[in-house]
């Protein structure tokens, strides 16, 4: 089932929570929308909206290129409403916390104003769960060739549906250039009404994420009814036996379901490891581990057995890398910078995030109403 998504608010000035009418609509469409609020809760929703709106925060912003804005808020989910533009033409991108892309660089003509909305997950640590804590509160960075900020406000958005990510370094919020995980780029394709909570962490496999309280157990605590939990683990299961790998994934699937969430298995992105014939038809590229376990194949099998949605990112990224070929595909990975055929560049992570989003949409796991303008090319 898709995550429940609010109708675009009317009047156009967005509020912090679902309007009572949206809650009613979500209830009436419960068969196709996740976690819809019961009708009996409409009055409470209205009260919560009014309270959240009263707590709207105007962040402190400094600088011009970039413009750095800070809101002193506690961990949680927050709607961000930003208006870009000014008397002169501009070109502005927006990132949050540890390099999470909220808005790709967007041009504004002289005198033009463009409003965009996002929902941001604020947590500690703000990036990888085993990394440094980062700075308290919410930090937003407006960069680009010529950033132009007209206004910005932050509104508490408790109860916002989430896409929770559990994975490795190819998914995580990477702390520095040139690295980027696809989970770090996913938020730019979503508008206000859904948040990405990225609990992916470098170097982790299916056993270590279960064993470390900061990883899967912490992610699981965040799961509310009908949140999506995307699980991509394989790159670091290099010596994991088949039965252990399947048991670990099964534990995660069952735990998410017990919390009322929707688990989604995501097969791993390919390694850029070509055969002489220009294909990736080899165990290194396709994540067959040192014990001969075809990890993506085990995910596909488990998905069918347990009736779990599957995003076959291995197949999708294989197709894309082979399409580009040995030379052009280098830009998707960090081959030129690091001779690295596993970790993705910002461009590669961005492309792979669109593949994930396309599958979420195709399988009706998210509603088009939470997609950012132009998120999916028709």
Q: Identify the band that residue 52 occupies on the pLDDT scale cut at 50, 70 and 90.
A: low
Instruction: State percent of the chain over pLDDT 90.
Output: 83
CA atoms within 13 A on the CB side of 299: 29
Lowest mean pLDDT among 27-41, 162-176, 192-206: 27-41
Helix (H, G, I), strand (E, B) or coil at 47: helix
Cβ neighbours, 10 Å, residue 309: 18
pLDDT surpassing 70 at residue 15: no
pLDDT digit string (tens) for 99-148?
A: 999 999 999 999 999 999 999 999 999 999 999 999 999 999 999 999 99
CA pair distance 289, 286, nearest whole angstrom: 9
pLDDT digit string (tens) for 264-296?
A: 999 999 999 999 999 999 999 999 999 999 999
pLDDT surpassing 50 at residue 358: yes
Strands, sheet with 76-85, edge to edge from the N-terminal-most edge strand: 113-122, 76-85, 149-156
Q: How far is CA 71 from the centre of its chain?
A: 21
Helix (H, G, I), strand (E, B) or coil at 61: strand
User: Between these two residues, 7 and 358, which has the higher pLDDT value?
Assistant: 358
Closest CA to 56 of 113, 97, 17, 20: 17
Helix (H) or strand (E) holding 94: strand 90-96
User: Between these two residues, 148 and 14, which has the higher pLDDT value?
Assistant: 148
| Residue 53, pLDDT score | 57
Query: Whole-number mean pLDDT of the chain?
Result: 88
What pTM did the predictor assign? 0.86
Residue identified by tokens 């082979």 is: 322
Q: Identify the band that residue 19 occupies on the pLDDT scale cut at 50, 70 and 90.
A: very low
Token duo for residue 6: 């609010």
* Alpha helix ranges (H) inside 192-312: 208-211, 216-221, 242-258, 295-306
Token duo for residue 351: 């492309």
């Amino acid at each position: 089932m898709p995550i429940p998504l609010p109708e675009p608010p009317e009047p156009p000035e967005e509020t912090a929570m679902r309007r009572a009418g949206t809650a009613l609509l979500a209830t009436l469409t419960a068969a196709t929308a996740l976690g819809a609020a019961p009708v009996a809760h409409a009055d409470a929703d209205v009260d919560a909206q009014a309270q959240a709106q009263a707590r709207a925060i105007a962040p402190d912003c400094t600088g011009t290129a970039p413009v750095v804005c800070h809101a002193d808020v506690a961990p949680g989910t927050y709607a961000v409403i930003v208006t870009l533009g000014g008397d002169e033409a501009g070109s502005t991108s927006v990132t949050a916390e540890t390099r999470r892309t909220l808005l790709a660089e967007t041009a504004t003509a002289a005198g033009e104003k463009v409003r965009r909305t996002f929902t941001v997950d604020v947590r500690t640590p703000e990036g990888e769960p085993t990394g440094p804590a980062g700075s308290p509160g919410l930090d937003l960075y407006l960069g680009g060739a010529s950033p132009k900020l007209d206004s910005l406000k932050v509104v508490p958005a408790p109860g916002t549906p989430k896409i929770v990510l559990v994975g490795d370094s190819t998914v995580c919020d990477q702390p520095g250039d040139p690295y980027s995980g696809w989970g770090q780029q996913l938020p730019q394709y979503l508008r206000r009404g859904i948040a990405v909570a990225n609990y992916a962490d470098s170097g982790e496999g299916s056993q270590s994420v279960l064993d470390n309280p900061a990883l899967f157990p912490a992610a699981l605590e965040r799961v509310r009814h009908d949140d999506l939990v995307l699980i991509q683990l394989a790159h670091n299961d290099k010596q994991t036996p088949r039965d252990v790998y399947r048991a670990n994934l099964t534990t995660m699937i069952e735990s998410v379901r017990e919390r009322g969430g929707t688990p989604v298995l995501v097969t791993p992105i390919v390694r850029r490891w070509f055969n002489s014939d220009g294909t990736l038809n080899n165990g290194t590229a396709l994540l067959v581990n040192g014990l001969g376990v075809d990890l993506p194949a085990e995910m596909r099998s488990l998905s069918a057995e347990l009736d779990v949605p599957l995003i076959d990112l291995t197949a999708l990224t294989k197709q894309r890398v082979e399409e580009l070929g040995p030379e052009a595909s280098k830009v998707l990975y960090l081959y030129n910078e690091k001779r690295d055929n596993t970790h993705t560049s910002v461009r590669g992570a961005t492309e792979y995030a669109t593949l994930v989003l396309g599958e979420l949409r195709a399988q009706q796991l998210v509603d088009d109403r939470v997609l950012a303008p132009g998120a999916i090319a028709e």
